[in-house]
Amino acid sequence: MTTPLLAATGITVHFSGVVALDDVALTVPEGRTIGLVGPNGAGKTTLFGVLSGLVRPRSGSVTLRGTDVTRRSPQARARLGLSRTFQRMELFTELTVREHLVLAQRVRDGRQSLVGFARDLSGAGERPGRSEVATVEAILDLLGLRAVAERPALSLPLGTGRLVEVARALAAEPSVVLLDEPSSGLDPHETEQLGEALRRVRAERGTAFVLVEHNVEFVLALSDRVTVLDFGRVLVEGTPDDVRASAEVQAAYFGTAPVGTGGETP
Ligand SMILES: Nc1ncnc2c1ncn2[C@@H]1O[C@H](COP(=O)(O)OP(=O)(O)O)[C@@H](O)[C@H]1O
Ligand SMILES: [Mg+2]
């Protein structure tokens, strides 16, 4: 078997008595999209924290391209090609869409602090170089953000803001991106646009994604494989069809019998 791009095994996390994760494993092969679903409080965001380095597990390990990164900082993991978005958007008030992308790229390279970036914008510092500009322009095109590149990111509708978050995660040119509920608060049209944008990124760049979502159909439609968490444990790991057919998932997650058991054709 080839070394997976990102892998976690035996991950256990306790928060003052609460078992947030209990012996959880997750494998992300190169270029694949892995869905992570489960009811509120199942441990999805905690697992993202463990993968990205913000949460230290009590036991278990995380590897990135075969390197054990369990004790490495989020910055070190970012330099190794891991990038993430947060459940609550974290865009900066003053910056335009394009500036967010330039900043993300420089922070990943360890070339810039936020303070330094503010100074640059005031005209006193380093201007974006040619290769920086090329990377940023390519991402703006890929996500259909060119028309809003000069707008302050926070002035945009939520759906566009979520695309900016994805764009920002991509500006560091990662090999794997963790997306925490990227479709939350979006209407069906915006959700569709987001899904198309993710498919484009995957097709053109071969980026791998781990996708946490409330919107189960969105995950099933985009993912190669899906892990279902429930109370900090892996309930099911399989293809989207496996998950659709799983009686355990139906019971735990939807509180109903599997679709199709009522006699109708699925
Ligand atoms: N920083 C924290 N301190 C204490 N408990 C936490 C913390 N983060 C998460 N938890 C608890 O861990 C469990 C899993 O939470 P979380 O990973 O946020 O779930 P999900 O993202 O699936 O909704 C929940 O019981 C939650 O209350
Ligand atoms: Mg969460």
Mapped onto helix, strand or coil, the DSSP state of residue 84 is: strand
Residues having CB closer than 6 A to ligand 1 are 15, 18, 20, 38, 40-46
> How much is the average pLDDT of 185-203?
92
Given a contact cutoff of 8 angstroms between Cβ atoms, the answer to whether 207 and 201 are in contact is yes
Residue of 12, 15, 22, 233 to test ligand 1 pocket, by largest number of atoms within 8 Å of CB:
15
Is 266 contained in some domain?
Answer: no
Determine which residue's CA is closest to atom 11 belonging to ligand 1: 20
* Ion ligand 2 residues within 5 Å by Cβ: 44-45
Most confident stretch, 22-26, 121-125, 261-265: 22-26
- Residue 261 counted as domain residue: no
How does DSSP assign 32-64, residue by residue? Answer: -EEEEE-STTSSHHHHHHHHHTSS--SEEEEEE
Choosing from 13, 36, 45 the residue with most ligand 1 atoms within 8 A of its CB, the one to mutate for a pocket test is 45
Residue 259 belongs to some domain of the structure = no
pLDDT for 124: 46
* Residue 12 burial (10 A CB sphere; 0-12, 13-18, 19+): middle
CB atoms within 10 A of CB 264: 7
Neighbours of 251 (CB within 10 A): 14
Q: Does 211 map to a domain?
A: yes
Helix (H, G, I), strand (E, B) or coil at 155: helix
Q: What is the model's pTM? A: 0.87
Identify each DSSP E strand in 191-257 by its residue range.
208-212, 225-230, 233-238
Instruction: Kindly report the backbone phi and psi dihedral angles of residue 237, in degrees, each rounded to the nearest multiple of 5, phi listed first.
Output: -130, 125
- Residue 112 or residue 6, greater confidence: 6
Can you tell me the mean pLDDT for 179-185?
Answer: 90
Whole-number Å distance, alpha carbon 62 to ligand 1 midpoint, is 19
Whether 265 is covered by a domain: the verdict is no
7 — phi, psi (to 5°)?
Answer: -145, 140
The per-residue pLDDT for 265 is 40
The whole domain housing 90 covers 6-254
Residue 175 in this model has a pLDDT that exceeds 80 = yes
Count of the separate structural domains present in the chain: 1
233 domain-assigned: yes
The first and second tokens of residue 32, run together, are 């694949």
Band of pLDDT at residue 264, cut at 50, 70 and 90:
very low
> Quick one: what percent of the chain has pLDDT higher than 70?
85
What integer pLDDT is reported at residue 41 of this predicted model? 93
Average pLDDT estimate for 107-115:
61
| Mean pLDDT for the stretch of residues 1-26 | 94
Alpha-carbon gap, residue 110 to 88, rounded angstroms: 24
Residue 215 has a pLDDT of: 87
CATH number at residue 121: 3.40.50.300
Does the pLDDT of residue 238 top 60, yes or no? Answer: yes
pLDDT-based confidence at residue 127 (cuts at 50, 70, 90) = low
Instruction: Please report whether residue 262 resides in a domain.
Output: no
136 falls within a domain: yes
Helix (H) or strand (E) holding 6: strand 6-15
What is the distance between the alpha carbons of residues 33 and 239, in angstroms, rounded to a whole number? Answer: 11
In the structure, what pLDDT confidence band is assigned to residue 263 with cuts at 50, 70 and 90? very low
CA 21 to chain centre: 19
Q: If you average pLDDT over each of 56-70, 100-114, 180-194, which comes out highest?
A: 56-70
Question: Concatenated DSSP letters for 113-133?
Answer: -HHHHHHHHTTSSPPPPHHHH
What is the C-alpha to C-alpha distance for residues 22 and 30, in angstroms, rounded to an integer?
25
The pLDDT of residue 262 is 41
